[in-house]
Structures are given as C-alpha cells and as structure tokens.
Amino acid sequence: MTGTTLHIPTLETERLTLRAPRWEDFEAYAAFRGDAERTAFLGGPFSRNTAFSQLSEIVGHWQMRGFGRFLVADRHTDEPLGIVGPYYPEGWPEPELAWSVFASAEGRGVAYEAVAAVRRWAYETLGWTTAISLIAPSNVRSAKLADRLGAKNTGKPFGDPDSGKAVEIWRHPSELPA
C-alpha cells in the first residue's frame, strides 16, 4: 500500500517544544477556542466541533503548503500552551507568522520565545527572507509582541477575506536576532 507521509518537525527552545498537534491537545485547544475573551480577535468563540475542524486544519496546512503552525508545549510537562508558526491560507497577501497562546501561557514570554524560534526556522529552513503578521488594531498585546520581535507596522490595512475585518500588516525584519 502506498500513501502520503506527512512530516512535521519538532523544534525545541530552552522552555518549549514546538511540535505537531496531537489528540491529547484537543481539550486545551477547544477550551482556548471556546474562550470569548481570548478569541475575540480571531472571530470566536467557537464550538468544540469547529475547534476540532480548526485543529485538523492546522495539520492539513502542512500537507498543502509544506509548512504550518506548531503546537507549543512546555518542554518538561508537555502542557499545551498555544499555537505558533507560518500560516498562508488562500487570500492572504503573503506568508504570515501567526501566534495564539492559551490562558496558562499569557505573560510568561512563551509567545516571544516560540515566535522567535519559528521565525529563525522559517528563514533558515524554508528560505524566507521576511514575513508578516496580521494583527487587529485593537489587539494591543500582539502589537507589543510584534514590536518586541522587531516587526514594524506598515500602515497598510488588509481586509480578512472571511470576516471582512481590517487588520494591520506588520513586517518582520529580514535579519535574524543575534
């Protein structure tokens, strides 16, 4: 029998493992996607059924594009902490570095550590020289993270093809941090 083999690499940082999503991560992911406060910028909250489809889409993106978002887990406990990685759905202006962290990871530097590792991987492994992040104007925390990562707001709005809501395009630097 022949078939398709999907390879999703595992990246490690000092505190984190960035890996393929697993069934065991679903409860944490569904809780995040069902949280109105944390998913307001993403069009949520979402039902468990929709959260399952969205988690499955994360895996499918790897097959379609050859890259995708990682499940971010605590390196020592394997607790799911968020979703971070390259994202390029149909209709996007160019590939994005996207991030969402779960409530237990907020304020701990998890997003910064994960996005910095993913950006390095995208530049070194995928050959990217730059990337964008699409951020809702009211998402102050994500804008601060983008700024901390060295990204700059281009001042150019982008209308999300699905929601129609305008987001800001933040451009990441082409050089890697030392």
Q: Chain-centre distance of CA 87, in angstroms?
A: 7
Q: For 38, which DSSP code?
A: H
Whether the CB-CB separation of 39 and 46 falls below 8 Å is answered with yes
What does pLDDT average to over the chain?
A: 91
Taking a C-beta distance cutoff of 8 angstroms, is the pair 137, 166 a contact? yes
Output the six-digit token pair for 141: 């925390």
Question: What number is the average pLDDT over the span 69-84?
Answer: 97
CB atoms within 10 A of CB 139: 17
Two tokens at 156?
């150019």
Average pLDDT over residues 11-23: 97
Phi-psi map region of 140: left, alpha, beta (phi>0 left; psi -120 to 50 alpha): alpha
C-alpha count within 13 angstroms, C-beta hemisphere, residue 51: 20
Confidence of residue 176 (pLDDT cuts 50, 70, 90): low
Q: Give the residue with greater pLDDT, 133 vs 163.
A: 133
38-42, 137-141, 158-162, 168-172: segment of lowest average pLDDT: 38-42
Structural domains in the chain, sorted by start: 11-171 (3.40.630.30)
Do the beta carbons of residue 95 and residue 88 sit within 8 Å? yes
Contact present, 8 and 69 (Cβ < 8 Å): no
**pLDDT tens digits, residue range 91-134?**
999 999 999 999 999 999 999 999 999 999 999 999 999 999 99
Task: Give residue 62's pLDDT.
Answer: 96
Alpha carbon 159 to its chain centroid, in Å, reads: 19
Average pLDDT, integer, range 20-26: 96
